[in-house]
Chain A
Amino acid sequence: MRLRAGQQFEQQQSRFIGVGNVNTTKQEWQSNVHRDTYASLIGHPATLEQLAISLGLSQEELKLQFINKMIQPCGPVTKDG
């Protein structure tokens, strides 16, 4: 039973990286949340435009910035999270 649940989880995670389980740390979870947030902001042209205007950057610049931020969005991985 436990084995199957584990396998299911692995299979799920291979498709949707943001899913978690009981062992997920807060940091892992938040990293995913941040990445999802950036992806969402980039993905919706209207929000991207709004942010670009408010930050005074071009949309492309902002996009690049967000993509770069996706690398370790919550700092390096720590043990305790």
Chain B
Amino acid sequence: MSDDLAEIKRAQLQRKALNSNEPVDSFYDETPPRQLDKYDTSIAVNGIDFDDSMETELGKRTLVGQYSAPKELVAEMAGTGDQDDGLVERQHAKSVYSKESDYQRRKYNRALSPDRVGADGETRSYKQIMEERELEREEQRIQQLIKKQNEESTSSREQYIKQEETISEEPKRARKRRWDVEGTDEASGTEPVVKSEVEPVAQPQIIKRRSRWDQTAPAIISELQNEVEVVKPARRSRWDQSSKATESTELSKPVFGAMIENPNYLSDEMLNQILPTEGYEILQPPLDYVPITQPAQKLIQAPVSSNDGFVMLEETSAESLGVKHLPTNIPGVGELQFFREEDMKYFGKLMEKTKESELTIAELKARKVMRLVLKVKNGAPPVRKGALRQLTDNARSFGPKAIFDQVLPLMLEKSLQEQERHLLVKIINRVLYRLDDLVRPYTHKILVVILPLLIEEDPYARIEGREAVSNLAKAVGLPHMITVMRPDIDQTDEYVRNITARGFAVVASALGVPALIPFIKAVCKSKKSWEARHTGVKIVQQIAVLMGCAILPHLKGLVDCIAACLTDEQLKVRTITALSISALAEASAPYGIESFENVLEPLWMGIRKHRGKGLAAFIKCIGFLIPLMDPEYANYYTKEVMVILLREFNSPDEDMRKIVLKVVQQCAATEGVTPKYLKEQVVPEFFKCFWIRRIALGRFNSLVIDTTLEISQKVGVSEVLERIVLVLKDEAEPFRKMGVITVEKVISSLGAADLSPDLERRLVDGMLTSFQQSSDDNIMVNAFGTVINALGYRSKKYLTEIVSAILFSLQNQSPLVRQKAADLIAAIAIVIKNCDEDNFLLKLGSVLYEQLGEEYPEVLGSILGALKNIVAVVGLSQMRPPIGDLLPRLTPILRNRHEKVQENAIDLVGRIADRGPEYVSPREWMRICFELLDILKAHKKGIRRAANNTFGYIAKAIGPQDVLATLLSNLRVQERQSRVCTAVAIGIVAETCSPFTVLPALMNEYRVPELNVQNGVLKAMSFLFEYIGDMAKDYVYAVTPLLEDALIDRDHVHRQTAASVIKHIALGVTGHGCEDAMIHFLNLLLPNIFETSPHVIDRIIEGIDGVRNCVGASVVLNYIWTGLFHSARKVRKPYWRLYNSAYIQSADAMVPYYPELEEDNYKRAELDIWI
């Protein structure tokens, strides 16, 4: 014992000595002796040489000062060796690896099973693999045994050592501590620095451990350190340390971030400049001179001011910053979006400059594939698309080996990011289709990388994984899949079994469940290992989860497979079986109870026999089966199971309580369970156990709420609310909130008709109390609104109280409270009106009106919303303040950029413009028009639409002329969105005030020789004709010359927009006898079909389609026949497009109009028959 102690002490001392020596040693070792080293390169201002280390790492300095970070900092950022760099970490944080749980990361432990495939691509026999598995299992068992033994033997010793360590002052650390090092390092001595609290935010952690500030700060507190045992976080940031420095010293000085070099430091150049050149001599330091290194002496160092003169900045370059030059341009690949260090591992070969002629065919293929994969993974979208296509098209000629050898290892790369993984899976998917049965030798390899996707958190990744597995299954066939996956079924590793089970489920859904059932049955009956049975049952569970109600046809078979496992000797197997049956029941609900008849009895026995987790699974299973049963059985089973449920209400296990709640919910929902039974047996106990404050803070309060709701459906509102009303006045906010949510849900689903007057009073009282007390969010407002709305006229007697509470809250200091109050007004305005309490509304209206100066936009938005609702229920004529006063206050508010404010304000203005424009002078309306133009730029579509509609209302109220003039001048603005909206507004104005008031001005505007204006006019006409429909027939000939002009314009946007005008006109006038004009348009449109820009050609085709609808397919087809078999592909293309759209729309109508062909076999003689 004492020997050990002595030994440990000795070791510690040794280590200490080592630590303190190390930097000094390395210092001397690393720097080669230089000429300049003969004398000291600088003289420290304060007599202490503090910064020799500056030059040690990076060698020479240049004489030319450059503006950059000091080398030392640069060296830090370069992050050599074990020092971690923040940016790298951020990069890593994006990778899939960083997001995965430990369980998911187990995929990296799995080898890519290279042994599954021989060098020549031959699979090894199934028997061999199984033998290997057996061996592995045995090995693992022995390993565990050994480990266990070791643990037992060493545990006593370890305990002892641990004790020793806590006694000794120096705890063992994985990393060496900086102050151990720096404390004795002669290089430290920079000034201490204090950083404000804000700094860490402004500067992300790019600078790591060896920072200058650390060097003294810790040195200063290093003495304190002996007394205070500093608790260190796992990863220390510099900021922690400097704040410690602040605590321990008063040496505070401002600093310009990290970029300024220590002002104490004077370089040779600076000294040369400062000191006269003549009369001085540079002396060598005496040989016995040793710089002072003791930290204690450094402590004396006086604080120096930072602004004492010139600051030398140093050269910077990518290299010195440690940026490794990774190419983005790979030979033979072209530009990539990025190229990471890790990619080098896989694609490094592409950089080698070997001659193509020296490579074998296989190598060449591999290179080619490598290039394509790299393009897909790292390339920009167009490059990626091309490469992916090439890869798919040539998959068979590349062969599976070349492709999978490249792709599969990449999938297991830790730095892989989601997007890259997505692309790689896409490659695999596409290639699988092409390779078909060629992939067989690679099946397992592919599964190793794909199956982990099935337990990914991201649902899209899971879908991708599923797709890949099912493609694979379809390619290689079921027997092969089973052969390949069979050995993994009884792996000792739970992770492998889990993903294998999921894989099998996907295979089942891809190839049909019946095909797999014999196999599952065999696995579930396996006598060899319980792991196999476990996996077999799990496959069934996963099938149920994956396929949902699609399992119904195979339900009987699946249940029979696993029924026997309910009485398995292994608890794990029994538990998973119960879970599987519940999954099956859940998937098949509400059908299929007859399939479960065999398992009911063992389940029932199981419930009595089990405890803990097993019981939870069995209860869950019964819970899912009860909804399938007919009422009589359900009632019986509920009563039986309820005894156990009530017992487990008090279970300390959270999972158990969750399951119990779920089952109660399911029982309560079944038909056979009577309200009386629930009321007497369940409700009291339920409320006693679950409606307590602790639950409200817990994770499953939503489950409790749902269960309460479910129970209330059966037992009625008052039974439940009677108990919850008490909660509403509880002092714990989360508990109140839970109560409020429940009240809202119950009332909104069941209404308030059932409430007794007394309960009603207490409910409103409770809601009001919690409304006043709760500090935040919409839940309160919504719930209160729901309750009041449900009570309707019955709430009249509480209104006085409520309104006064609202008025009080409106004056509250906190903006949130004010907002809440305004929201509540909006919610209950209609009820107040229904209670004939108009006075309250008017009072609230005028208070809100006074509050329009509100500065918080969120609150202002709510106030506007409340006003809007009041105006809606009171009517414009009764409104106080009168509309004439209200609207002018709204005009400046329209300028507010906040979305909520804009939306509510525009709604209110629109309503006034719609219902009572006469209350406001036309001049005010014009002012509003100008404000509205700005709103057309809003991001939210709803706001823009509301603004457009308002234009319509205003135009109707004050006549279109002025509004139109405003709008037309707005066509000249630069922003496209604004112009488009203006065009829409013009369309709306034309619709509301009939087109003849608008069209002349619009057509006149077209004469302005400006591109934007003309396009705007055309656009407006397009909307106009879209809105007015068949009214267009009166205006067709009027606009024809204008459209003619637009259609022969050189600018393609003109033609494009004109085409869409024609489309709308043509569709509008179909059947109104304007065919001649339409054919005229068709003649002008047709030459445009050779446009290539997608927008243009789409509009042109649409235009022609529109005309076809108006004049009939026969006419348009006559234009088309000439081009269908033109000798030039480019010509045929658009013609076929036209033909196709005609064919799709009216194939039958085209029959009489097909051209008659000369050839005998093309003659349609039937059409020539006459009677």
Which residues does A use to contact B, with CB under 8 Å? 3, 12, 16, 18-22, 24, 26, 29-30, 33-34, 36-38, 40-41, 43, 50-51, 53-55, 66, 74-75
Can you sample 26 A-B contacts with CB below 8 Å? A3-B389, A12-B1140, A12-B1144, A16-B1140, A19-B1139, A20-B1124, A20-B1139, A21-B1140, A22-B1133, A22-B1136, A24-B1136, A33-B1154, A36-B1148, A36-B1150, A36-B1151, A37-B1154, A37-B1166, A40-B1151, A43-B1148, A53-B1171, A54-B1169, A54-B1170, A55-B1169, A66-B1166, A74-B1161, A75-B1161
Contacts of A66 in B (CB 8 A): 1166
Query: By the criterion CB–CB under 8 Å, are B1171 and A50 in contact?
Result: yes
Q: How far is the CB of A24 from chain B (nearest CB, A)?
A: 7
Q: Are B1166 and A41 in contact (CB under 8 A)?
A: yes
CA distance A37 to B1166 in the complex (A): 9
Give the distance to chain A from B1105, nearest Cβ to Cβ, in Å: 15
CA distance A35 to B1133 in the complex (A): 23
Taken together as a complex, chains A and B put the C-alpha atoms of A12 and B1142 apart, in Å, by: 13
Query: For chain B residues 33-80, which have a beta carbon within 8 Å of chain A?
Result: none
Within the complex, what minimum Cβ distance (angstroms) separates A30 from chain B?
A: 5
Complex formed: what's the CA distance from A22 to B1129 in Å? 6
Is the C-beta of B1143 less than 8 angstroms from some C-beta in chain A? yes
CB of B438 to closest CB in A, whole Å: 24
Please state if A18 and B1169 are interface contacts (CB–CB under 8 Å): no
Assess A26 versus B1125: contact at CB under 8 Å? Given A37-B1166, A74-B1162: yes
Given contacts A16-B1147, A18-B1143, A26-B1125, contact A37 B1171 (CB under 8 A): no
Q: Give the CA-CA distance A12 to B1111 in the complex, in Å.
A: 25
Contact status A19-B1143, CB under 8 Å: yes
Output the least CB separation between B512 and chain A (Å): 24
Task: List B contacts of A30 (CB < 8 A).
Answer: 1157, 1162
B1151: which A residues are within 8 A, CB to CB?
36-37, 40
Chain A nearest Cβ from B1159, distance in angstroms: 8
Tell me which residues across on chain A come within 8 A of B1125, comparing CB atoms.
Answer: 26
Are B1170 and A37 touching (Cβ within 8 A)? no
Q: Which of B110-141 contact A (CB under 8 A)?
A: none
A19 to B1162, CA, bound (A): 18
**Given A3-B385, A75-B1161: A37 and B1167 within 8 A (CB)?**
yes
B177 at the interface (CB under 8 A from A): no
Those of B316-369 within 8 Å (CB) of chain A: none
* Contact present for A29 and B1143 (CB under 8 Å): no
B1130 shortest CB reach to chain A, Å: 9
Given contacts A20-B1139, A51-B1166, 13 further A-B contacts (CB under 8 A): A3-B385, A3-B389, A12-B1140, A19-B1140, A20-B1140, A21-B1136, A30-B1162, A33-B1164, A36-B1151, A40-B1148, A40-B1151, A51-B1169, A54-B1171
If A16-B1144, A36-B1151, A40-B1148 touch, whether A22 touches B1132 (CB-CB below 8 Å) is yes
Q: Is the CB of B385 within 8 A of A18?
A: no
Closest 9 CB pairs of A and B: A19-B1140, A40-B1151, A22-B1132, A54-B1171, A75-B1161, A30-B1162, A74-B1161, A54-B1169, A33-B1154
The closest CB in chain A to the CB of B385 belongs to A3
Please state if B1169 and A36 are interface contacts (CB–CB under 8 Å): no
Q: Which residues of A contact B1154 (CB under 8 A)?
A: 33, 37
A12 contacts across to B, CB distance below 8 A: 1140, 1144
Who on chain B is nearest to A20 by CB? B1136
CB-CB < 8 A to A34: which residues of B? 1162, 1164
A18 to B1142, CA, bound (A): 11
- Find chain A residues with CB under 8 A from B1133 CB: 21-22
A3–B389 alpha-carbon span in the complex (Å) = 9
**Most B C-beta atoms less than 10 A away, residue of A19, A54, A55, A66:** A19
Q: Looking at chain B's contact residues, is the secondary structure mostly helix, strand, loop, or mixed?
A: helix
Nearest CB in chain B: distance from A71 CB, A: 14
> Which residue in chain B gives the minimum CB-CB distance to A30?
B1162
Q: Nearest residue in B to A19 (C-beta to C-beta)?
A: B1140
Give the docked Cα–Cα distance between A55 and B1125 (Å): 35
Q: Which residue of B lies closest to A66 (CB)?
A: B1166
Interface centre among B1133, B1150, B1151 (most CB of A within 10 A): B1151
Q: How distant is A41 from chain B, measured CB to nearest CB, in Å? A: 6
Question: Which chain B residues border A43 with CB–CB below 8 Å?
Answer: 1148
> Nearest residue in B to A75 (C-beta to C-beta)?
B1161
Q: Mark B1073-1095, 1 if CB is under 8 A from A, else 0.
A: 00000000000000000000000
Residues of B within 8 A of A38 (CB): 1166
- Chain A's nearest CB lies how many Å from the CB of B584? 36
Contacts of B1170 in A (CB 8 A): 54
CB distance from B159 to the nearest CB of A (A): 68
Instruction: State whether B1144 touches A19 (Cβ < 8 A).
Output: yes
Set of chain B residues within 8 Å of A41, measured between Cβ atoms: 1166
Cβ–Cβ < 8 Å partners of A24 in chain B: 1136
Tell me, in angstroms, the Cα distance from A36 to B1167 when the chains sit together.
13
Whole-angstrom distance from the CB of B928 to the nearest CB of chain A? 46
B-side contacts of A55, CB under 8 Å: 1169
A81 to B434 alpha-carbon distance, docked (Å) = 30
A7–chain B nearest beta-carbon distance, Å: 11
Residues in A whose Cβ lies below 8 Å from that of B389: 3
Nearest CB on B from A65, distance (A): 10
Minimal Cβ-Cβ distance residue in A for B1144:
A16
Contacts of A16 in B (CB 8 A): 1140, 1143-1144, 1147
CB distance from B1125 to the nearest CB of A (A): 6
- Taking CB atoms and an 8 Å cut-off, the chain B residues in 1097-1154 that contact chain A are 1124-1125, 1129, 1132-1133, 1136, 1139-1140, 1143-1144, 1147-1148, 1150-1151, 1154
For residue A19, give the distance in angstroms from its CB to the closest CB of chain B.
Answer: 4
Q: Which residues of A contact B1124 (CB under 8 A)?
A: 20, 29
Residue of B nearest to A21 (CB): B1136
Which B758-790 residues have C-beta < 8 A from chain A?
Answer: none
Q: B1169 to chain A: which residues have CB within 8 Å?
A: 51, 54-55
Residue of B nearest to A1 (CB): B1094
Q: Which residue of A lies closest to B1140 (CB)?
A: A19
Bound-state Cα–Cα, A22 to B1136, Å: 7
Give the docked Cα–Cα distance between A39 and B525 (Å).
Answer: 58
Cβ–Cβ < 8 Å partners of B1164 in chain A: 33-34, 37
Q: Please measure, in the bound complex, the distance between the C-alpha atom of A16 and the C-alpha atom of B1169, giving whole angstroms.
A: 29
Please indicate the chain A residues that have their CB under 8 angstroms from the CB of B1148 in the complex.
Answer: 36, 40, 43
Shortest beta-carbon distance from B845 to chain A in Å: 57
Chain B residues with Cβ below 8 Å from A54 are 1169-1171
Residue among B385, B1132, B1143, B1144 having the largest count of chain A Cβ atoms under 10 Å: B1143
* Chain A residues within 8 Å of B1136, by CB: 20-22, 24
Closest to A78 in B: B1161
Q: Mark B361-403, 1 if CB is under 8 A from A, else 0.
A: 0000000000000000000000001000100000000000000
Report Cα–Cα, A20/B1162, bound state, in Å: 17
Q: How far is the CA of A40 from the CA of B1153 in the complex (A)?
A: 13
User: Which residues of B in the span 1013-1063 have a Cβ within 8 Å of any Cβ on A?
Assistant: none
Cα-based distance from A22 to B1132 in the complex (angstroms): 6
Which interface residue of A20, A26, A53, A54 has the most chain B CB atoms within 10 A? A20
Bound CA–CA A18/B1143 (angstroms): 8
A47 to B1125, CA, bound (A): 31
In whole angstroms, how far apart are the Cα atoms of A18 and B1144 in the complex?
8
Q: Mark contacts of B672-686 with chain A using CB atoms, 8 A cut-off: 1 yes-contact digit, 0 otherwise.
A: 000000000000000
Alpha-carbon distance A27/B1015, docked complex (angstroms): 45
User: Do A18 and B1147 have beta carbons less than 8 Å apart?
Assistant: yes
B1118 to A: closest C-beta gap in Å = 16
Cβ–Cβ < 8 Å partners of A18 in chain B: 1143, 1147
Nearest to B1134 among chain A residues (CB) is A22
B498 CB to nearest chain A CB (Å): 37
Interface centre among A21, A22, A66 (most CB of B within 10 A): A22
Q: How far is the CB of B1127 from chain A (nearest CB, A)?
A: 11
User: A34 to B1160, alpha carbons, bound, how many Å?
Assistant: 13
User: How far does the alpha carbon of A19 sit from the alpha carbon of B385 in the complex, in Å?
Assistant: 27
From A3, A36, A53, contact of B1147 by CB (8 A)? A36
* A36 contacts across to B, CB distance below 8 A: 1147-1148, 1150-1151
